[in-house]
Structure 1
Amino acid sequence: MADPLHFGTVGGAVTKLIWFVFGLVLTSLSVSGVAVYALRLSRDGGIATAWASAWRGMGLWRWPALAGIGIALALLPALFQAAGGD
């Protein structure tokens, strides 16, 4: 019952456009937050120090995040193969 509302298919193109705009807003908030955090870290000692500080600042969550990125990259070929219709 919730799938049409969740995926934005309940109202056709208008609902999909609304979902897209809200997704774009949330994505831009995430990107701007990362940019502000990176600027704050780089102000102290350069880009290498900023990367090291960011890596240490993630604590134990850095490993699941790194695993998620690795899994996403590993699944990319399957995604493109499925989109190609092969």
Structure 2
Amino acid sequence: MTEVVLGILGILLLILSIIVVRSSSALAAVTLMSAISLTASLCFVLVAALDVALTEVILGAGFVTAFYLRAIGETRGSGND
């Protein structure tokens, strides 16, 4: 059963990655990258790598997403200088 779920999550990761690459909106791409990180975390939980899953959630879905959103906000606001 775990192999089936991992296979489905792997396909979902592939689909989300393709959508990110084809996305024309930076905000949508960042949101989807966060979803990729959360999906990867689920894969890590299923293979009992809880420490890696926690690190992926904190860094991938948390810190990196916040960093990219801040960068997008800064670049959109810099046109008034």
Shared fold (TM-score greater than 0.5)? no
Give the TM-score normalised by the residue count of structure 2: 0.37
Larger Rg computed on CA atoms: 1
Give the TM-score normalised by the residue count of structure 1: 0.35
**Greater RCO (Cα-Cα under 8 Å, separation 6 or more):** 2
